[in-house]
Structure 1
Amino acid sequence: MVATLMLSGCGGAMSDFGAGVGAAATAPLDDLNLRRQQIPTVLLQAEANPYDLRNLNQCTTIGAEVARLNEALGPDTDEPPAPDGSTLGERAGDAASKAALDAIRDATTDFIPGRSWIRRLTGAEQHSRHVQAAIQAGRMRRAFLKGIGMNRNCAPPAAPAWFRPRGGSRR
């Protein structure tokens, strides 16, 4: 009853919760390697060559590459959290829906006997490791590019958010 009241006040969060239920309920498809998480091209490129500087000779092109990585990875740790304007009740509702989704995901994956072996045999574990390696390479590339941007006196996003260029930024 309380969870229902909390979730009913969330407006758009209910549609997010509904989508999350579908994803949580179909989590075994990932374990059986019947559904794969797509790796964004920018992360595959970062994995292949994280220190590539081709065509990145201007602050604007470095910033554009950082923006592509931000789109794939989410905001960097130097970025301040976006003010979402949510109320305490909405944040509590979000926490409740996350807990419910975690419970659904656990229930749907726990019924698979020998889950870790199945993930290994189907290749799902290897794909999961590849996804994590691509994410790590993308983070490394983003940090590298922001360092290059600082060295070239670029303004954010081509440099960390806290960096202030000396005497005006180069573009």
Structure 2
Amino acid sequence: MDGARQFGAGLGSAATAPLDDLNLRRQHIPTVLLQAEANPYDLRNLNQCATIGAEIARLDEALGPDTDEPPPPDGSFLSERAADAAAAAALDGIRDAATDFIPGRSWIRRLSGAEQHSRHVQSAIQAGRMRRAFLKGVGMQRNCAPPAAPAWFRPRGRSQR
């Protein structure tokens, strides 16, 4: 995405950041992360490599690519990446300016429940990452090919289906 488009797309979110602090707008937690938070080691209905891979794909959709995945080639030039970085920095500045005018912001976040919700979001993300790593380990143990195992893993002989 070019810097100008990125800036335009993120401007509304940066300017309305105080709504998050006042708990008037909440970040959505995907169902797959809530399930991971409730039971990160659940293996029900995950008895085949294909089902393990499908669950990992659901987690990837919610979390983004795992650290073992190479970044997709974006074909961008250095100048485009610099423009994206500049847009991100400008949006951070706007977000900071929009939230700095709130006196006692940390207290407001605690009293409004925004801080608790933010912690819940982070907990769900951590549980999702933990579940994805666990499932990739199970996939390796069962000799599954990626994506039901880490990208670097090569199954021995025939992989399970």
TM-score for the superposition, normalised by structure 1: 0.92
Deviations 1:146-167 (A, max 9, x none): 0000000000010000000001
Moved more, 93-102 or 15-24: 15-24
Tell me if structure 1 keeps the 8 A contact 2:136–2:150.
yes
SS of 2:76's equivalent? coil
- List runs of 5+ in structure 2 lacking aligned partners: none
Q: 2:68 aligns with which of 78, 90, 96?
A: 78
2:22 is matched by which residue type in structure 1?
A: L
Deviation of residue 14 (structure 1)?
Answer: 2.9
CA-based RMSD of the aligned residues comes to 1.1
Distance (Å, rounded) in 1 between the aligned partners of 2:159 and 2:91: 45
Distance (Å, rounded) in 2 between the aligned partners of 1:34 and 1:72: 23
> Is residue 151 of structure 2 the alignment partner of residue 161 of structure 1?
yes
TM-score for the superposition, normalised by structure 2: 0.98
Distance (Å, rounded) in 2 between the aligned partners of 1:48 and 1:156: 25
1:45-124 map, 5 Å: 45-124=35-114
Q: Aligned residues, how many?
A: 161
SS of 1:23's equivalent? helix
Sequence identity percentage: 84
Deviation of residue 31 (structure 1)?
Answer: 0.2
Distance (Å, rounded) in 2 between the aligned partners of 1:95 and 1:118: 31
Distance (Å, rounded) in 2 between the aligned partners of 1:145 and 1:126: 28
Deviations 1:4-56 (A, max 9, x none): xxx9xx3xx43332120100000000000000001000000000000000000
SS of 1:35's equivalent? coil
Following TM superposition, where does structure 1 have runs of at least 4 consecutive aligned residues deviating by more than 3 angstroms? none
Distance (Å, rounded) in 2 between the aligned partners of 1:156 and 1:116: 43
Tell me if structure 1 keeps the 8 A contact 2:33–2:125.
yes
